[in-house]
Every structure is written in C-alpha cells, then in structure tokens.
Amino acid sequence: MAGFGLTRPGEPPPRVGVIDLGTNTVLCTVLFGEPRDARRLRIAEDLHFVTGLGRDRGEDGSLHPAGTARALRALRHVSRRLRELGVPPSAVRGAATAACREAPDGPALLAHIREQLGLPLHVVHGEREADLVALAQRHSFLEQEPLLVIDIGGGSTEIALTAGDEWRVSIPVGATKLSEALGPSPSVADTRALVTSHVASQALGPLPSTSTLVGVAGTVTSALQIADAHAVWDPTTLHGRVLRRVDIVALGERLLSMTPAARRSIAGLHPGRADALGPACFWLDALMDRLGHQQLLVSDRGVRFGLLFEAWPRAVVL
C-alpha cells in the first residue's frame, strides 16, 4: 500500500482541499489521507460560508460590492486554513459556478482570487458543473445506479442521469434567482406559477423507468436539517438520508406563511438561506413531479467532491 509521500497514479496526495465558489455560498472541504492507504480520505474540516455573492446584481449583471466583499472575506479564511492544515497549493482544486460565469466582472474577481489569495478558482460552465455533481454522486451511491441527480444552487440547477442514456442539463434557475424574482413575501400561488412555468420550458430526458433520485446542495440539506430540528449546521450528518416530496412541500408552505423575520429564527436554517428556501422547495417539488419521484437521497457532496474525484479517481472518501 502507498504510504505518505508515495502515491500511485490516480491516488490523492496526503492532504487535499476542494473549493466551490457558488452564487450564495463558499464551500471548502479539507481531507487527510490515511497513512496506510493513500486512497482513503477522511474529512478533516468542512468550511461553509453563506456570502450571497450573486444577490442584488447590477443592471448589467455585475456583482454587488457587498457580496463580493463577503465572498473575498470567506476565501481569505479558506486560504489561511489550507495553509494552517498543511495542504500544498498543488493539492487544491476549485470551481466557480453561476454567479461568476454570468457576471461581466466574474473573470476579474477570479483573477484577483488566484493572484492575491493563491486559490485556483476557475469558472465551470453548466454542463461541466452537472458532470462534476454527477461524478460525485456515482462515488457515493454507485450501487444504486441509474441515478437522477438534481443540484439546486443559488443561480442555476443542474440535472443529470448517470447511467444508460446519460444526459446533462443546466437550467439558469436557482434558489437565489427565484427569491429575488418573487420578493420577500410571495404567495404559494405565485410561487407555484413561477416554478411551473420554468419546469414546463425544459427538455428533460429520456427518463429511465427506474432510477434513484439524489438531491444535492443547500435546498435539500437545509430542508432535512430543519426536519431534524438541529440548531447546529452540520450537513455532513445528513448525507445519504431520505427526504420525501410531501415533506418538501409542507416545508415550503410553512416558510411562505411566515414573516421574513420569523424565517430567519428557525433552528437549523442559516439566515442567509431563509428567504430563498421556500421558493426552492416548490422548485424542487415541481422538478420531482416532472421526473416522477416521490422521495430522494440527500447528498452534501456536490461540485467540490466532483473536482476531487476528477483529479484523483482512485480516492475514497470515508
């Protein structure tokens, strides 16, 4: 077996870091390899920041200075922690998604991050984002293929089928965009009308007669966190759990019936997600209806884990 300092092709180095700069969050996972088997990685630290990078964009689509400042503050912390934890620059992978790929000033922001913070963040386009998310789920739920994967981000939604007639689609609709379109206190009727129109405009398929649906990212992890009434945000404990469509709808209705202030006080719900989660629940419900599923597996392993397995295909996350 390979020990520290000796790895085989496709095996990760002893310490790695993977970063996802999203429309609403900055995520970074640091993993340490086991001394007796370089393929086996354990999560040493999971950093999660709600920054709202893609909120309140200008008329030309440019990023708001406040969101940019919050994202840079989070990434400075990420850069510092990677150094403190002994992760070499060559063992860091990073991606930036919808906010940076859509904004005219996204490339300049990423150049600044690479030059000033030393973080190798580059835009991934929609279908590649879907590929990365699908790759991460195959490593998590391989025995349950074919998988239908839904990743609802802040600025876009990626859907992928991982086996048989494989296909990928990236939809420029996400939780943050829905929330901004609907305003702070939308009705259930208005929310359903908006998400139904978005789903109706999408070509999804072919759909397999049987498949396992996997939901990725903050909408599903937040929904399950609230159902468990856990005040401390820890999405890693939710990975692999089941979430039912009926419970997603009930949560969406509950959230839309509350005032913005009341939503921000819910245990387990980050205030930065409070206004977006209700519309996102109805968006997820509409997609599940279209895909023909009544429940899904919850996954916390999104784009950043796809980057990990793409770079080091022999890695195994414990």
End-to-end CA distance of the chain: 17
pLDDT tens for each residue of 55-80: 999 999 999 999 999 999 999 999 99
| pLDDT over 70 (residue 40) | yes
Cα 29 to Cα 13, 55, 64, 147, 276, distances in angstroms: 15, 24, 26, 24, 24
Say if residue 98 is in the same domain as residue 161. no
Average pLDDT over residues 228-244: 80
Q: Residue 284: inside a domain, yes or no?
A: yes
Instruction: Give the CATH number, domain containing residue 262.
Output: 3.30.420.150
d(CA 11, CA 269): 36
Domain membership of residue 4 (yes or no) is: no
Tell which wins on pLDDT, 171 or 164. 171
Say yes or no to pLDDT of 135 above 50: yes
CA triple 190-97-231, angle to 5 deg: 65
Reading the block at residue 212, the tokens are: 């396992």
pLDDT at 4: 42
Q: Are residues 227 and 136 in the same domain?
A: yes
Chain mean position to CA 276: 14
Whether the predicted pLDDT of 168 surpasses 60: yes
**Are 173 and 311 found together in one domain?**
no
Judge if 187 and 228 occupy the same domain: yes
Would you say residue 51 lies in a domain?
yes
Answer yes or no: do 216 and 275 share one domain: yes
Do 86 and 149 share a domain, yes or no?
no
Q: Is residue 233 pLDDT above 70, yes or no?
A: no
Number of independent structural domains in the chain: 2
Q: Which helix (H) or strand (E) holds 161?
A: strand 157-161
Distances (CA, A) of 149 to 35, 137, 213, 222, 281: 33, 8, 6, 17, 16
User: DSSP of 206-249, one letter per residue?
Assistant: PPPSS-EEEEESHHHHHHHHHHHT-SS--GGGGTT-EEEHHHHH
What is the residue whose two structure tokens read 């929609």? 126
* Tokens of residue 159, six digits: 């859907």
CB 26 within 8 A of CB 19: yes
pLDDT (tens digit, 9 = 90+) per residue, 241-255? 999 999 999 999 999
Q: What is the dihedral of CA 279, 284, 289, 294, to 10 degrees?
A: -120
| Residue 6 maps to a domain | no
**Domain that includes residue 30, residue range:** 15-125+304-317
Instruction: Give the mean pLDDT of the chain.
Output: 93
Residue at 241 is within a domain: yes
Same domain, 196 and 274: yes
> What average pLDDT does the segment 294-302 reach?
96
Same domain, 209 and 103: no
The reply to whether 240 and 157 lie within a common domain is yes
pLDDT at 7: 57
Are both 104 and 181 inside the same structural domain? Answer: no
Please indicate, yes or no, if residue 10 is contained in any of the structural domains. no
Same-domain pairing of 39 and 79: yes
Residue 17 near residue 79, CB atoms below 8 Å: no
| 8 within some domain | no
Tell me the pairing of strands 147-152 and 121-123.
Answer: unpaired
Query: Which of 278, 281, 318 has the alpha carbon at shortest distance from 296?
Result: 281
pLDDT of residue 163: 86
Separation of alpha carbons 166 and 84, rounded Å: 41
Regarding whether 116 and 149 lie in a shared domain, the answer is: no
- Pair 297, 130: CB distance under 8 Å: no
What is the pLDDT at residue 231?
62
Residue 70 is part of a domain; what is its CATH number?
3.30.420.40
